[in-house]
Amino acid sequence: MIIGVPKEIKPNENRVGLTPAGVMEFVHHGHTVLIQKGAGLGSGIGDDEFVRAGAKIIDAAEEIFKEAQMIIKVKEPQTVEIDMMHEGQIIYTYLHLAPDRKQTEGLMRKKVVAIAYETIEVDGKLPLLEPMSEVAGKMASIMAAYYLAKPYGGIGVLAGGVTGVHSAKFVILGGGTAGLNAAKVASGMGASVFVLDINAERLRYLEDVLPKNCQMIMSNKFTIAEEIKDADAVIGTVLIPGAKTPRLITRDMLKTMKKGAVIVDVSIDQGGCVETSKPTTHADPVYEVDGVLHYCVANMPGAYARTSTFALTNATLPYGLIIANLGYKEAAKRYEPIAKGINVLNGKITCKPVAEAHGLEYTPLEELI
């Protein structure tokens, strides 16, 4: 199979879909790998490293999309990239289709095989999302602490406080991978951390692994509303696989928060868990609503591109090899996680939460393969 890796074009996105180690694996299995010139530079990987691993360097993205049978990316394809796709081509990347009707319809129109990292599921876990959730969770607390500083729009509270002065209160919505890592960093800075989740078993686990300056609270509308009132920072990490994120903080609830408080909405890729959230970029990451600073960067791990690229490709490579070695049909038949990853096929939506998010027809994958 011909594998194509274009340079990411989403603003401030410096990750790349394959490392030289990944290239070497694909070549070892008899595949051809085309890498766009400069695709790895943002992650500190030069073209010469890809060449030594066996890749061919291609100047233009157009040629990559024309020649490749499978495109491996990091972020969801932009409009110009969708326009370059062709029928039957496999797109293997993060898609986040539930909040993005335009992209969904574009992939349907092109009749591509759209395989989303974020819906590949193994034993209830999302192994291709978890490494980036780790990065985003740790980043979330760092960004919250940074923007709490007065010069950057915050209330002027130091996360860990100092002797004789209260530390900041961090409220974390969701105790999954991102929430756990946000709590680790926030507690490590000395903040008072409150983690809310709807799963009592998960809360028991978090109680065991997190330090004593972290408290676990059962999540519901009442407790969320109460906890955010005196929070200095709120970090939203809620995720429903493949679906649009529920809005846990309404505009009315926002008005009860401290002026100068900071919200970091990690779940913005799936629509965000705050009513007033809208995607931002690393170039212009924050905005203010009702006196509350919002940080809603839609590709947070792109800021730490080298770490993120290697963490992501460690997870995506094994599944990518299966798809390339067997073809998507046989791969989906033999491996349920890959079947769950297919969101769009032959112009049909095969991921139920995506179809429901847009009010479009859902077609079970088994009817198409």
Please list the active-site residues. Answer: 96, 269
Task: Report the 10 Å Cβ neighbour count for 51.
Answer: 14
Q: Which residues contact 296 (CB under 8 A, 6 or more apart)?
A: 264, 265, 268, 272, 277, 278, 279, 280, 285
Backbone angles phi, psi at 97, to 5 degrees: -80, -25
Strand partners for 287: 294
- Helices 200-209 and 177-188 sit at what angle, rounded to 10 degrees? 30
Surface-to-core class of residue 239, CB atoms within 10 Å of its CB (0-12 exposed, 13-18 middle, 19+ buried): buried
Residue from 344, 361, 285, 359 nearest 108 by CA: 344
**Tokens of residue 79, six digits:** 């409009």
**Tokens of residue 49, six digits:** 């490293």
